[in-house]
Structure 1
Amino acid sequence: MTTRDDASALIQRMQECFNTRRFDQAADLHTPGFFSHPLGTTGFAAGKDAWRMLTARFPSMRVVAQDILVDGDRAAVRSTVEGIETPDGAQPMLFEIFRFDDGRFAEMWGASTGFPPSISPEDVLGRP
């Protein structure tokens, strides 16, 4: 079972891997059967590719957890996105829900707000 402190630490480690571009280290934080609902894929390889695409387009992009709410084997995270200039000055945000299994990420759902359509994660990754 993943404790509240373990879940928060895991999320912060994942964000640190993203922010420092140590994508390979993030793979160890995910179960082999990890499922990303936004990407519709199993395994972390597609997530790592998505991270590479996003950071290639936005080299200064960083995510910072503002709220981490843990309930059982799930956590909801609200993160600000730094390093992306928007025409209206909006602060882009990510909203993610994770399910954990044995101390690792097993499943993820996500949405974003504050991004202009041409630079939203969905647009950059070619998702509807």
Structure 2
Amino acid sequence: MTTREEARALVLRMQECFNTRKFDEAADLFTADFVNHPLGAIGIEAGMDAWRMIVAQFPDMRVVAEDVLVDGDRVAIRSSVEGIASADSGARPTLIEIFRVHHGRLAEAWGITEGPDPRH
């Protein structure tokens, strides 16, 4: 069983892999049958492809954890998004994700982005 501290550290490690562009290291953090609900995909390849596409468009993008909540096998994280030029408001987008942890790995994810869309 994964402890609260281990679950929290797992999600923060995933963010670190994104922020440092060490995508290959992130592969060990996910189960083989990882379910990515926002992308409608199983496995980590769709997520890794999405990471590559977004950093190609926004090379300075990073996510910064603001809140991390752990309840049982679920980890909810609210993150601010930096390195993206926002619309006129200057407000940063916010990423809200929920992960299910299974045997010390990320097994399932849900997520939404709030705030200005940097692509428009």
- For 2:19, the equivalent position in structure 1 comes to 19
| CA deviation string 1:70-112 (max 9, x = no partner) | 0000011000100011122011110000000000000000000
Unpaired runs of at least 5, structure 1: 120-128
Aligned to 2:108: 107
Q: Helix, strand or coil for the counterpart of 2:119?
A: helix
Residue 54 of structure 1 is matched in structure 2 by 54
Q: Which amino acid aligns with 1:51?
A: W
Once residues 112 and 39 of structure 1 are traced to their aligned partners in structure 2, the CA distance between those partners, rounded to angstroms, is 13
Call closer, same or farther: CA 1:83–1:117 in 2, change over 3 Å. Answer: closer
SS in 2 for 1:32: strand
Flag as ranges the 4+ runs of structure 1 deviating above 4 A: none
- Report the TM-score, using the length of structure 2 for normalisation: 0.95
CA contact (8 A) 2:86 2:116 kept: yes
What displacement does 1:117 show?
Answer: 6.6
1:66 aligned partner: 66
Aligned partner of 1:126 in structure 2 is none
Match of 1:44 in 2: 44
In structure 2, the residue matched to 1:76 is 76
Which residue of the partner structure matches residue 10 of structure 1? 10
How many correspondences in the alignment?
A: 119
Post-superposition shift, 1:8?
1.0
Matches within 5 A, 1:84-103: 84-87=84-87, 88-103=89-104
Superposition deviation, residue 12 in structure 1: 1.0
Letter paired with 1:82: E
TM-score normalised by L of structure 1: 0.90
Which secondary structure state, in structure 2, belongs to the residue aligned with residue 28 of structure 1? Answer: helix
